Amino acid sequence: MTFAGGMLLSTSVPALAVTATDTVARASVYAPAEDTISLRSQTLEVGSEVALEPIEVGGFDVEAAPPPIESSVAGVGEVSLLQADRVVWPVDPSRTASGFGPRIAPCAGCSTFHDGIDFNPGVGATIGSIADGVVITATEAGGGLGVYVEVQHNIDGAVVTSLYAHMQYGSLAVAPGQRVTAGQPLGAVGTTGQSTGPHLHLEMYGADGVRFDGMAWLSSHVNG
């Protein structure tokens, strides 16, 4: 506290600064002041008539700590997947650009096998979850996928994951571990990552991680 006071005095009153031509020794404003602390002892007198009674400690039960939550996603506890009864399109399906399967690479570094399907609903269009589920990934650092979200679903008793890529920066509307419902906004159509223009790149895969044709799957499952 003494040092802080010295700094304030030195900067607020420059006239007190010591120069090389001073001949009279001055006490440094940085020198710590001598602090004197006086301690007075305290005593407590207890009369002989005061009796000290022992304290009885009551019984208590010891419960084992609950087992740790198993984590299926980094930083997210395992969340049960409820059966999804409704399946919807993530965006307007009337405008698609690239289907699933072999293709001519549209850009340098792009693959010649398209793992998903591309929709062109327009830049900024809202992207919705295809069904009820749990968000397992939501990031703006997705490399070639750009800003993307992954949602895991339980559909007809099978685990299905949907992936939505190339979203706009700042548009993420969900977080990992969050439950979502069919059609709930996840983000907005953009062109982040390895992209040739604004579009939604949708990938779908099962528990084995193998991508399949999301257009064919959605066409046979959409019911809302």
Q: pLDDT tens for residues 35-85?
A: 444 445 555 565 555 555 655 545 544 444 444 323 244 334 556 788 999
Mean pLDDT of 104-118: 73
The one-letter code for the residue type at 76 is V
CB 166 within 8 A of CB 148: yes
- Which of 24-33, 66-75, 93-102, 134-143 comes out lowest in average pLDDT? 66-75
Q: Is 47 exposed, middle or buried (0-12, 13-18, 19+ CB in 10 A)?
A: exposed
Mean pLDDT of 13-36: 41
Mean pLDDT of 104-132: 85
- Per-residue pLDDT band for 224 (boundaries 50, 70, 90) equals confident
Third-level CATH fold of 76-221: Glucose Permease (Domain IIA) (2.70.70)
CB 153 within 8 A of CB 80: no
Q: Which of 31-45, 88-102, 191-205 is predicted most confidently? A: 191-205
Ordered DSSP codes for 176-202: TT-EE-TT-EEEEBB--SS-SSSBEEE
User: Strand pairing partners for 201?
Assistant: 118, 165
Q: Where are the domains of the chain?
A: 1-35, 76-221
Q: Does 39 or 223 have the greater pLDDT score?
A: 223
pLDDT in tens, 142-200: 998 999 999 999 999 999 999 999 999 999 999 999 999 999 999 999 999 988 899 99
Q: From residue 160, give the alpha-carbon distance in Å to each of 98, 130, 140, 142.
A: 22, 11, 23, 20
Q: Which of 2-11, 14-23, 32-41, 126-135 is predicted most confidently? A: 126-135
- Per-residue pLDDT band for 212 (boundaries 50, 70, 90) equals very high
